[in-house]
């Protein structure tokens, strides 16, 4: 709030300063314009007055020399007089055309109609004086007092016209000087007013600035106090955060130790274990027993499906079963047996394993229980039991009283037919017979053949 008041105090004075600055520029432009106008009038009138003096001087000298020559002064010739008359006429033309012989005043062509009329009349008088002087010189004896009086009259008219033109020029210059003094007076008064306004503005600005500086100092003190309080709070928060960081680091250290122990425990267990990250489907841990049992592992679940279940149909069946049991395992607080699976090893052998799912907050633990030997033992046991059952059935069929002939050794079946003993046993058991002759019978029936020579 105090900073806003300071800015308001500073910027509220800017319009008055801007106005004063613009007025100063305007007054400076007026002064420059007045000086330029004064310089213009001087440049225009001073050469006029100077040329008028030259006209008067040249004409007077020419007139005096002419009178001396007409009075009988033989040392004066018309060639000495004529340049003065020419010079006076050229000076009149210089005034009309704005030419000047003064280096600091280059001259300006006249635009004052009244002065131009006077100058043209003066030029006419100068021409008449020159013509009359030439006429008097040409016929000195025939000209008398009348021509001299006419010459003097023209000379006086010329002087009068020169004085009139000079007076007009001086009047213009004087009027311009009066106007210039009035303009300067007005400008000085305005400058005094500007200085007053500036002084008052500076006084008000100084007062407001002092008030703003006090407000700013007050705001600075409050801000400094707030910074100190905030620094103290940040220090407390930093100390608390440092303590939390230490505790977190200690907890992470314990967690790493616990994780290391868990890994060691899982590696020591004979059951293969895999841990799957549920966020990205990556398998970030395999126990050593898993590599020993299967010969290979995988970095993702999708890759494990490919290597462990190469048959596409069986793989799809496994995925469907897993999807079903995953939904069950999410709601269970205990490991869930997902059934038996045929897992293909790296060497091509197939292991029969039971898989157990157990969910953690962000991961899934999969445990493999190898029951291949157990399944083979069960198969062998089932086959043995089946064989025993068949044998027992056959033994049962041959049990009981068998009627046998005491002479030919034939056996009577249940239907009353007499069968050879080997035929009967072959039908009621799995026994096979090969016919031979015993030693007693060989000696009895074949005494000449010596079938048993080793005896």
Q: Are 298 and 350 in contact (CB under 8 A)?
A: no
Report for 181-190, 217-226, 414-423: range of highest mean pLDDT: 217-226
Residue 103 confidence (pLDDT): 45
Q: Which residue has the higher pLDDT, 380 or 84?
A: 380
Q: What mean pLDDT value characterizes the chain?
A: 76
Q: What number is the average pLDDT over the span 390-403?
A: 64
Q: Given a cut of 50, is residue 280 above it in pLDDT?
A: yes
Beta bridge mates, 343: 351
Residue 393 confidence (pLDDT): 65
CA distance 190 to 30: 11
Q: Given a cut of 70, is residue 253 above it in pLDDT?
A: yes
Q: Which of 262, 257, 269 is nearest to 356 (CA)?
A: 269
List, as one string, the DSSP characters of 73-84: -TT--HHHHHHH
Report for 187-196, 250-259, 314-323, 329-338: range of highest mean pLDDT: 314-323
Q: Given a cut of 80, is residue 274 above it in pLDDT?
A: yes
Out of 147-156, 184-193, 239-248, pick the least confident.
147-156
Query: Under 8 Å CB-to-CB from 132, ≥6 apart: which residues?
Result: 147, 150, 151, 154
Each domain of the chain, given as residue ranges in start order, spans 2-213, 269-370, 401-455
Query: Under 8 Å CB-to-CB from 76, ≥6 apart: which residues?
Result: 65, 68, 69
Q: What number is the average pLDDT over the span 179-198?
A: 75
Q: What is the pLDDT of residues 17-48, one digit of tens each?
A: 666 667 667 767 776 776 666 666 666 666 66
Query: Which tokens is 188 given?
Result: 């000085």
Out of 169-173, 220-224, 357-361, pick the least confident.
169-173
Q: What number is the average pLDDT over the span 395-410?
A: 69
C-alpha dist (Å) from residue 399 to 14, 425, 431:
134, 12, 15
Q: Which residue has the higher pLDDT, 301 or 421?
A: 301
CA distance 361 to 358: 10
Top-level class of domain 269-370: alpha beta
Out of 88-92, 131-135, 271-275, pick the least confident.
131-135
Report for 100-109, 120-129, 149-158: range of highest mean pLDDT: 120-129
List, as one string, the DSSP characters of 195-228: HHHHHHHHHHHHHHHHHHHHHHHHHHHHHHHHHH
Q: Which residue in the block uniquely carries the two structure tokens 């249940």?
A: 414
Residue 330 confidence (pLDDT): 81
Q: Given a cut of 80, is residue 9 above it in pLDDT?
A: no
Q: Are 284 and 364 in contact (CB under 8 A)?
A: no
Residue 345 confidence (pLDDT): 92
Query: Which tokens is 92 given?
Result: 């009149």
Q: What is the pLDDT of residues 44-77, one digit of tens each?
A: 666 666 667 777 777 777 777 777 776 767 777 7
Q: How confident is the model at residue 148 (pLDDT cuts 50, 70, 90)?
A: low
Q: Which three-class secondary structure state does DSSP give residue 437?
A: coil
Q: What number is the average pLDDT over the span 225-249?
A: 89
Q: Given a cut of 50, is residue 92 above it in pLDDT?
A: yes
CA distance 256 to 209: 65
Q: Which residue has the higher pLDDT, 382 or 109?
A: 382
Share of the chain above pLDDT 70, in %: 72
Q: How confident is the model at residue 6 (pLDDT cuts 50, 70, 90)?
A: very low
């Amino acid at each position: 709030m105090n900073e806003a008041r300071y800015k308001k105090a500073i910027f509220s004075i800017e319009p008055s300063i801007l106005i004063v600055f613009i007025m100063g520029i305007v007054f400076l432009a007026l002064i420059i314009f007045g000086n330029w106008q004064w310089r213009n009038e001087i440049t225009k009138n001073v050469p006029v007055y100077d040329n008028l003096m030259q006209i008067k001087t040249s004409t007077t000298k020419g007139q005096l020399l002419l009178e001396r020559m007409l009075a009988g002064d033989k040392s004066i010739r018309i060639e000495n007089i004529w340049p003065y008359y020419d010079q006076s006429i050229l000076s009149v033309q210089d005034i009309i055309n704005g030419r000047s012989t003064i280096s600091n005043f280059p001259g300006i062509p006249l635009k004052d109609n009244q002065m131009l009329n006077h100058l043209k009349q003066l030029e006419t008088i100068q021409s008449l004086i020159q013509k009359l002087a030439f006429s008097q010189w040409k016929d000195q004896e025939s000209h008398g007092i009348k021509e001299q009086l006419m010459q003097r009259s023209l000379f006086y008219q010329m002087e009068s016209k020169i004085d009139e033109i000079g007076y007009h020029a001086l009047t213009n210059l004087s009027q311009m000087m009066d106007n210039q003094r009035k303009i300067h007076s007005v400008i000085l008064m305005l400058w005094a007013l500007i200085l007053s306004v500036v002084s008052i503005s500076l006084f008000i600005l100084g007062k407001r600035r002092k008030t703003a500086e006090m407000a700013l100092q007050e705001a600075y003190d409050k801000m400094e106090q707030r910074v100190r309080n905030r620094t103290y709070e940040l220090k407390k928060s930093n100390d608390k955060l440092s303590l939390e960081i230490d505790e977190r680091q200690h907890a992470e250290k314990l967690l790493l130790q616990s994780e290391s122990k868990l890994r060691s425990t899982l590696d020591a267990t004979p059951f293969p274990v895999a841990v799957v990250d549920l966020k990205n489907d990556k398998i970030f841990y395999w126990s050593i027993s898993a590599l020993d049992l299967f010969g290979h592992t995988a970095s993702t679940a999708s890759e494990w499906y490919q290597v462990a279940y190469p048959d596409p149909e069986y793989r799809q069946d496994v995925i469907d079963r897993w999807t079903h049991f995953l939904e069950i395992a999410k709601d269970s607080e205990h490991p869930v047996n997902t059934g038996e699976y045929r897992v293909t090893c790296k060497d091509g052998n197939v292991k029969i394993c039971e898989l157990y799912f157990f969910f953690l907050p962000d991961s899934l633990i999969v445990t493999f229980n190898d029951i291949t030997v157990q399944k083979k033992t069960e198969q062998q046991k089932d086959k043995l039991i089946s064989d025993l059952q068949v044998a027992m059935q056959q033994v049962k069929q041959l049990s009981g009283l068998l009627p046998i002939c005491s002479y030919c050794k034939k056996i009577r079946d249940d239907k009353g037919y007499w069968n050879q003993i080997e035929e009967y046993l072959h039908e009621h058991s799995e026994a096979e017979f090969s016919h031979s002759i015993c030693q007693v019978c060989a000696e009895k029936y074949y005494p000449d053949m010596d079938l048993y020579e080793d005896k």
